[in-house]
Amino acid sequence: MDLFSISSSFHVLSLCVFFILSSGGALGATFTFVNKCEYTVWPGILANAGSPSLDSTGFELPQESSRTFNVPTGWSGRMWGRSGCTFDGSGSGSCITADCGSGQVECNGAGASPPATLAEFTLGTGGQDFYDVSLVDGYNLPMIVEASGGSGLCASTGCVTDLNRVCPSELRVGGGEACKSACEAFGSPEYCCSGAFNSPATCKPSVYAQMFKSACPRSYSYAYDDPTSTFTCSGADYTVTFCPSMPSQKSSKDPTPTTTAPVTTTDGSISGTGTSGPDGSETGSGLGVTGADPGSESGLGSQALLTDGSWLAGLAMGDSTRIYSSCFAPVALAFFTLSILSL
């Protein structure tokens, strides 16, 4: 091997090492927004404090179109869809549901005005990503989040059911454009999990939260719904789809649930139309929760080791393997060269 080849190999090696160290071992993720609604949706994006703003904080997404963003490692924030929007040529205007109050297409650091279906993300800096779809602030659009290319459970989550069609009159907005949360509608501490009800022990799901949970079992229905509503994945890209016709069938971890009859509990509350997975566990009718075996539930509170060990492997590695593939060959070549020169 000539000196030029050796020099080139070490140059590539140094670049790879610098890149891995400076990036914290991850490139971030690609987020794709897809609009399957029969109308235009205007997504909004709000970064949490300490996270950078993305290329846009609000934009128009026509029917059957998509838009992709690169999201850096460590980013956290929320995303939602606005509907019934009217904007003029300068981008000024407002939306009927989930308006961010900026008076523009861009939300510019403002959040969604309830009711709004929210997708929430925290991307790991060397470990797992956490994500959920929340109905705690009410509901305006069907939405699912799907992970691809990652390791771990990586289950789909969201709300496929059109809750606006079954929204109780006391929660309904206008002519049925959105459905309020009980907290927003009534403001009572027991509905808002505030005051004396500010703990998992004292704040229990109301009949309204049970209705939301029955229709959309993978979504947050109230503030302390964490165990069955937060999902994890490592090194994945994400697709946020508005008005999905049905959950993606690409994952064998999301079996088709079977429907059971509505159930009335002893306290008179209605748990709604439920579904049971292959293991007989109740899941709900919007997007099933359980996996194909009793130990494979997808919520944060029940992370199970997959049969191929991929969850444990992903947790131990901390990152997606995709970042290292381009550097592996030159790294191996450089170390091979070192061993030859040392002989």
**Has residue 36 got a pLDDT over 80?**
yes
pLDDT at 226: 72
- In this predicted model, which residue has the larger pLDDT, 216 or 323? 216
**Has residue 213 got a pLDDT over 80?**
yes
pLDDT > 90: percent of the chain: 60
Average pLDDT along the chain? 74
pLDDT at 127: 84
- In this predicted model, which residue has the larger pLDDT, 293 or 109? 109
Question: Could you say which architecture CATH assigns to the domain 28-179+213-253+294-318?
Answer: Sandwich (2.60)
**Has residue 12 got a pLDDT over 50?**
no
Domain boundaries, the chain: 1-25+323-343, 28-179+213-253+294-318
**Has residue 169 got a pLDDT over 80?**
yes
**Has residue 187 got a pLDDT over 50?**
yes
- In this predicted model, which residue has the larger pLDDT, 314 or 70? 70
**Has residue 266 got a pLDDT over 50?**
no
Closest CA to 140 of 169, 107, 181, 111: 181
Q: Is 26 helix (H, G, I), strand (E, B) or coil?
A: coil
- In this predicted model, which residue has the larger pLDDT, 97 or 256? 97
Q: Show the tokens assigned to 182.
A: 């009980």
pLDDT at 332: 37
CA distances to 123, 191, 199, 240 from 319, rounded to whole Å, are: 11, 39, 34, 22
DSSP per-residue string spanning 176-245: TTEE--HHHHH--HHHHT-GGG-STTT----HHHHHHHHHSTTSB-STT-GGGT-EEEBS-EEEEEES-S
d(CA 128, CA 75): 12
Q: Which of 24-28, 110-114, 330-334 has the lowest mean pLDDT?
A: 330-334
pLDDT at 299: 35
pLDDT at 306: 30
What is the helix (H) or strand (E) element at residue 288, kind and residue range? none
pLDDT in tens, 126-147: 789 999 999 999 999 999 999 9
pLDDT at 287: 54
Give the other-Cβ count within 10 Å of 170's Cβ.
10
Widest CA span of the chain, in angstroms? 82
Alpha helices in the chain (DSSP H): 3-23, 182-186, 189-192, 207-215, 310-317, 322-341
Q: How confident is the model at residue 1 (pLDDT cuts 50, 70, 90)?
A: low
Q: How confident is the model at residue 186 (pLDDT cuts 50, 70, 90)?
A: very high
What is the average pLDDT across 43-62?
Answer: 96
pLDDT at 14: 47
Rounded (10°) CA dihedral 62, 63, 64, 65: 10
Please identify which residue in the block is written with the tokens 């997959």.
306
- In this predicted model, which residue has the larger pLDDT, 187 or 343? 187
Q: How confident is the model at residue 228 (pLDDT cuts 50, 70, 90)?
A: confident
Q: Which of 23-37, 194-208, 221-235 has the lowest mean pLDDT?
A: 23-37
Give the other-Cβ count within 10 Å of 209's Cβ.
24
- In this predicted model, which residue has the larger pLDDT, 43 or 340? 43
What is the average pLDDT across 285-293?
Answer: 37
